[in-house]
Amino acid sequence: MAPAVVLVGVMGAGKTTVGEAVASQLDLPFADTDTIIETRAGKPIPEIFVDDGEPAFRALERQVVAETLDSFEGVLALGGGAILDDGTRKLLADHTVVFLTVGLTDALKRVGMGAGRPLLALNPRATLKYLMDQRKPLYLEVATHTIATDGREPEEIAAEVVTLLSA
């Protein structure tokens, strides 16, 4: 068992929205590891960061991603920072991974000014730019395909993902 496709990208790239649309088009279930983490922890991710710290969040994320990659048959969206873990990147080598790219302007429009995003709490624009620059090589490392999402509708992006999967 393995996901039909795994979506990766920085926050605001559209992983959840596009993932839900891809799942609908393929008549498959959709899962987002951030949602699974929140369910397992019994609290929202910002609270995990505040109460337990980022290292505890990343440890839980690593576990959830590994379990889901092994057992979920559907469309899977990973949290933006999941690819920071070497082990997770190695696990992704056996999967079809689509990196959804997004420019800073579109990403900021989509995530707002960081509400509910613990890593964007202080300076959303500068922090998001830093995260994008830091993580891009890691996304590219795991990506089977790369799709730009700027200025595009989720359904159009989802159709491109579905086309890539059927090729």
- 42 within domain boundaries: yes
- Close Cβ partners of 58 (under 8 Å, ≥ 6 residues apart): 81, 84, 85
Task: Round to whole Å and give the CA distance between 124 and 118.
Answer: 10
- 166 within domain boundaries: no
Task: Round to whole Å and give the CA distance between 91 and 3.
Answer: 12
pLDDT of 113 over the 70 cut: no
- 165 within domain boundaries: no
- 167 within domain boundaries: no
pLDDT cut 90: percent of the chain above it: 70
Domain count, the chain: 1
Task: Round to whole Å and give the CA distance between 118 and 102.
Answer: 20
* Predicted local distance difference test score (pLDDT) of residue 105: 72
Kindly give the residue spans of alpha helices, DSSP state H, lying in the chain.
15-26, 33-41, 45-52, 54-71, 86-92, 104-111, 124-142, 154-166
Q: Which domain holds residue 11?
A: 5-160
Q: What is the pTM of this model?
A: 0.90
pLDDT of 111 over the 80 cut: no
| Residue of 107, 100, 96 whose CA lies nearest to 139 | 100
Mind listing the pLDDT tens digit for each residue in 1-48? Answer: 789 999 999 888 899 999 999 999 999 999 999 999 999 999 998 889
Provide the CATH number for the domain around residue 144.
3.40.50.300
